[in-house]
Amino acid sequence: MRILAETDGVLLREVYAEPDGTLSIRLHQPSRDAILAHTARVRAEKPLRDLSFGRKVADIPVLDRVRLRTTHPELDAPDHDTRRRAWAAFLASPAAAPFKV
């Protein structure tokens, strides 16, 4: 049974009372589909011509970024070189395809 729902405009947090008496928190990002659809449109319509430093290479929704912390913890490594190599490897992998611009 849902007992609380709140949003900050980006994430929807819901607290549920489970039948066994525990509480669970579920996060939803209602805009995720819109973000991925926009990214796909940009990728299809505007071929990348600007290869300068600081160009946008991916648009990752918040909840997907949180999930990536568990599946790819090296993306948040404190060491810059480790983090840079991890991001390069991730962006070259098929898992990054929906997020790439």
Chain segment 25-54, per-residue pLDDT in tens: 888 776 788 888 888 888 888 666 666 666
Could you list the residue range(s) of the whole structural domain that residue 19 is in? Answer: 1-30
The residue that leads in pLDDT, 26 or 83, is 83
Q: Are residues 26 and 42 in the same domain?
A: no
Residues facing 53 on adjacent strands: none
Q: Are residues 25 and 71 in the same domain?
A: no
Q: Are residues 53 and 85 in the same domain?
A: yes
- Give the DSSP letter of residue 51: -
Determine the 3-state secondary structure of 6 from DSSP.
Answer: strand
CB 33 within 8 A of CB 68: no
pLDDT at 2: 75
Q: Are residues 95 and 51 in the same domain?
A: yes
The whole-model pTM stands at: 0.64
Calpha distance 75→70 (Å, rounded)? 10
Q: Are residues 42 and 10 in the same domain?
A: no
- Give the DSSP letter of residue 29: -
pLDDT at 3: 82
Annotate 75-93 with three-state secondary structure.
HHCCCHHHHHHHHHHHHHC
- pLDDT above 80: residue 81: yes
Q: Are residues 36 and 72 in the same domain?
A: yes
Q: Are residues 6 and 46 in the same domain?
A: no
The residue that leads in pLDDT, 28 or 23, is 23
Number of domains in the chain: 2
